[in-house]
């Protein structure tokens, strides 16, 4: 831990007798840039907790008619069946793994090993790109929806869905589910009643900001906003990591004598992973 | 670029040798294993019991607890908050705990006005 101090140490630093807050030294023993990154992350965390709290509030308000994420996100690449949340779990793993490669880049920086910093940063960037791509893929499926779709009733808001067994994924022909008027659950509709309701209904597929095939439109709004906001963070993280990777390649930090810039972008990158852990739980699992 | 002698480079304190690096990397791998296992357990629990009404509240609190465990590992180990000074840890975490406490409080108390704000929400969101 020591040995490097002599390079740049200011005389006041070694004087601990005056106390951490007496001036001449950083009381937190942390560099300005890293501390500011932490403060930014705290404020960013406030934003995300606001979003997730709003989501939780609405999710509990409409608890009996809220779509189950397990019914919505069942796609998996190159597989035609339904596997609940498997792809989201994969995305979570990719992001955690890229967090590890990032922390390994930071660790290599502490040993001033330029080659390893480059290697781990490339892997981190690749992980980030896989994640953003996966999110785009998931948006695509959510926006396009299912083949059978659902029906938007005359009032323009109520969604009548096909009755599908959640376990076997078999659709019951001519039987539909509509939310009760007091939103306390769904009631089954079939036969003449269903036909009457269908006459002026619009056949819809997938979700957008106006309607949602899977049920409550708010679910889609929150999905687009929260995962979109997070996805934009991941995208910015990839861009920042790429710029800093170029700086590493240039040898800029060899000259400076430390790889603190990698640490700072690393903090941001871990934060993105941290937020996803919460989004994963509150949006997909609960 | 000449090093300025009036600025202390705190990041230099974090430099370590090969031996110590090995130990640190091992710790990261342990954390990766823990985070992966927790995620797999969560997804498996969700697949098995998410449609079982009697398990709903157990699932909810297990998921939230496991999430906090994961968050703790990420901030303390990956973000190195555990290595910072105690005073700095509190500077970062305390405002956040206060906000979360406030949000939970406001949700639990103000949500009783649900029926009152309902017409407004119905008007606005259309259901």
Per residue in A125-148, pLDDT (tens digit) is: 999 999 999 999 999 999 998 888
Q: B66 is written with which tokens?
A: 């496991």
Q: A40 is written with which tokens?
A: 């930014």
Dihedral, B93, B95, B101, B103 alpha carbons, nearest 10: -120
The pLDDT value recorded for residue A63 is 78
Q: B104 is written with which tokens?
A: 């939970």
CB A69 within 8 A of CB A283: yes
The Cα–Cα gap between A76 and A69 comes to: 14
User: Which of A 71-130 lie inside 8 A of B, CB atoms?
Assistant: 84-86, 89, 92-93, 96-97, 99-100, 102-104, 106-108, 110-112
The answer to whether the Cβ–Cβ distance between A34 and B11 falls below 8 Å is yes
What number of other Cβ atoms are within 10 A of residue B42's Cβ? Answer: 23
The CATH class given to the A34-146+216-285 domain equals mainly alpha
Of A208, A269, A207, the closest CA to residue A244 belongs to: A269
| Average pLDDT taken over every residue of chain A | 88
Of A258, A231, A281, A214, the closest CA to residue A113 belongs to: A258
Which of A28, A112, A221, A225 is the best mutation test for B, with the most CBs of B within 10 A? A28
Per-residue pLDDT at A275 exceeds 60: yes
Which of B39, B45, B56, B119 is the best mutation test for A, with the most CBs of A within 10 A? B39
Q: Is the ipTM of this structure higher than 0.90?
A: no
The label of the residue with tokens 């955690």 reads A96
What pTM does this model have? Answer: 0.87
The percentage of residues in chain B with a pLDDT greater than 90, rounded to a whole number, is: 47
Domain with CATH 1.20.120.80 in chain A: 34-146+216-285
Q: B35 is written with which tokens?
A: 């985070």
């Amino acid at each position: 831990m020591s040995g490097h101090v002599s390079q740049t140490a200011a005389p006041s630093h070694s004087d601990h007798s005056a106390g951490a807050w007496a001036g001449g030294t950083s009381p937190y023993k942390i560099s300005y840039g890293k501390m500011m990154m932490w403060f930014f992350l705290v404020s960013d965390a406030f934003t995300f907790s606001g979003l997730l709290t709003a989501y939780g509030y609405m999710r509990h308000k409409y608890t009996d008619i809220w779509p189950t994420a397990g019914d919505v996100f069942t796609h998996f690449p190159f597989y035609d069946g339904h596997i609940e949340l498997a792809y989201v779990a994969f995305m979570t793993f990719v992001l955690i793994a890229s967090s590890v490669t990032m922390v390994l880049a930071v660790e290599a920086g502490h040993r001033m090993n330029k080659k390893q910093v480059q290697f781990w940063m490339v892997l981190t960037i690749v992980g980030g790109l896989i994640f953003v791509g996966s999110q785009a893929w998931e948006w695509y499926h959510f926006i396009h929806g299912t083949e059978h779709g659902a029906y938007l009733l005359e009032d323009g808001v109520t969604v009548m869905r096909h009755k599908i067994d959640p376990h076997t994924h078999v659709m019951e022909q001519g039987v539909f589910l509509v939310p009760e008027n007091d939103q306390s659950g769904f009631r089954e509709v079939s036969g003449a009643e269903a036909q009457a309701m269908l006459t002026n209904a619009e056949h819809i597929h997938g979700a957008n900001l106006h309607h949602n095939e899977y049920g409550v439109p708010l679910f889609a709004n929150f999905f687009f906003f929260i995962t979109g906001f997070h996805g934009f963070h991941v995208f910015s993280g990839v861009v920042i990591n790429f710029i800093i990777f170029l700086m590493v390649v240039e040898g800029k930090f060899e000259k400076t004598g430390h790889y603190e810039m990698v640490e700072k972008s690393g903090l941001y990158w871990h934060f993105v992973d941290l937020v996803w852990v919460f989004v994963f739980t509150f949006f997909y699992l609960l | 670029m000449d090093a300025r002698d009036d600025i202390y480079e705190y990041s230099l304190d974090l430099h370590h040798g090969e031996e110590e690096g090995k130990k640190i990397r091992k710790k990261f791998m342990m954390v990766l294993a823990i985070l992966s296992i927790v995620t797999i357990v969560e997804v498996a629990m969700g697949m098995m019991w998410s449609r079982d009404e009697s398990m709903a509240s157990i699932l909810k609190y297990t998921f939230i607890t496991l999430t906090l465990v994961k968050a703790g590992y990420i901030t303390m180990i990956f973000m190195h908050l555990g290595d910072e000074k105690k005073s700095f840890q509190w500077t970062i975490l305390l405002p956040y705990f206060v906000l979360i406490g406030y949000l939970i409080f406001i949700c639990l108390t103000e949500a009783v006005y649900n029926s009152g704000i309902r017409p407004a929400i119905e008007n606005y969101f259309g259901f």
